[in-house]
Structure 1
Amino acid sequence: MQPNDARMLLYSAVPTALAGAVGAAVSAALAGGKGAIGAAAGSVVVILFMGMGLFALQKVAKSFPHLFQAMGLLLYTTQILLLAVVLAVFKDTTLFNTQAFGLSLLGATLVWIAAQARAHMKAKILYVEPESSPTPAAGTDEKSDAQVKAAATGANS
């Protein structure tokens, strides 16, 4: 994982975890222990889904940069649909408060998206990766770029 990718993940996951902690505290105050469990579970689901999605998107960006935008749109659509499936699966559970779970899921998703957008705006990502020039070996006569260009154009003749 590239440093920019790890930074993007960190800058998105930390605010989401903090929002999840606030959601769990509010849910604990309003709905008791099951509310806190539901809110915490909702935040964990969002962090896992969005984190895996960001990781997958970065892999695609490195391998197929021409598919980056389409993959991003497909990924976000898939994530929202999967979150809806999770909501449907846990609709009638008695493990935790489903209302706290759903509200935490929604809130954490919005916080993740806002934090990711902010992190992307603050990141200084190069549009083009600069080529590294090979370093000459010790004792070799390496021509400068100007000499190579002059030789190629016949300017020294």
Structure 2
Amino acid sequence: MQSHDARLFLRALVPTLVVGALAAVVSALVAGGKGALGAVVGVALVLFVMGLSLVVLQQTAKKYPGLFQMMGLLLYAVQILFVAVFLLAFKDTSLFDTKAFAFSLLAATLVWIAAQARGYMKAKILYVDPEAAEAKRAETAGSTP
């Protein structure tokens, strides 16, 4: 993982963890231990799905840049399917409070997306390699037909 990729990951991870901790505390106060567990499970699901997708997308961009956009769309569909399967598997569970789970899942997802968007806007990632462009310009400067 490149340094700017790690920074983008941390810029999304830290606010999501803070919201997760707040969700766990609020859920514990409102719904008790099962509420706190539901909040922790919801935030953990978001961190797993979003973090894994970010790592896979970064590896795809590095190895197969032509597939980057298609892989992003595919990962979005896989994220939705994975969460849907998880929700179906635990829809009637009594292990944790499902309302606390749902609200913390929603809050963590929104915070992750907002933090990731802000991180990309603040990052100064060049989409053109200046050294390669300079070398190309120097290479073609001497050849006049």
The TM-score, its normalising length taken from structure 2, stands at 0.87
Deviations 1:109-137 (A, max 9, x none): 111111111111111111123447xxxxx
Contact 1:87 1:102 in 2 (8 A): no
* Residues in 2 aligned to 1:62 and 1:130: alpha-carbon distance in whole angstroms: 18
Give 1:135's aligned residue: none
Gap regions ≥5 residues in structure 2: 133-137
Q: Does 1:3 find its partner at 2:6?
A: no
Contact 1:40 1:101 in 2 (8 A): yes
The offset of 1:72, in angstroms, is 1.1
Q: Does 1:111 find its partner at 2:116?
A: no
Identity over aligned residues, as a percent?
Answer: 59
Deviations 1:25-57 (A, max 9, x none): 111111001100110111011111110100000
RMSD: 2.0
The within-5 A match list for 1:8-157 is 8-131=8-131
Contact 1:39 1:105 in 2 (8 A): yes
Q: Secondary structure of the equivalent of 1:37?
A: helix
Letter in 2 for 1:40: V
Letter in 2 for 1:37: L
Higher relative contact order (CA closer than 8 Å, sequence separation 6+) = 2
The TM-score, its normalising length taken from structure 1, stands at 0.81
The offset of 1:98, in angstroms, is 1.4
The offset of 1:80, in angstroms, is 1.9
Which structure has greater helix proportion? 2
Higher gyration radius (CA): 1
Letter in 2 for 1:10: L
* Residues in 2 aligned to 1:47 and 1:83: alpha-carbon distance in whole angstroms: 12
* Residues in 1 aligned to 2:65 and 2:128: alpha-carbon distance in whole angstroms: 12
* Residues in 2 aligned to 1:115 and 1:99: alpha-carbon distance in whole angstroms: 24
* Residues in 1 aligned to 2:23 and 2:94: alpha-carbon distance in whole angstroms: 19
Gap regions ≥5 residues in structure 1: 133-144
Provide the aligned length of Structure 1 versus Structure 2.
Answer: 140
Moved over 3 A (4+): none
Give 2:135's aligned residue: none
* Residues in 2 aligned to 1:80 and 1:10: alpha-carbon distance in whole angstroms: 23
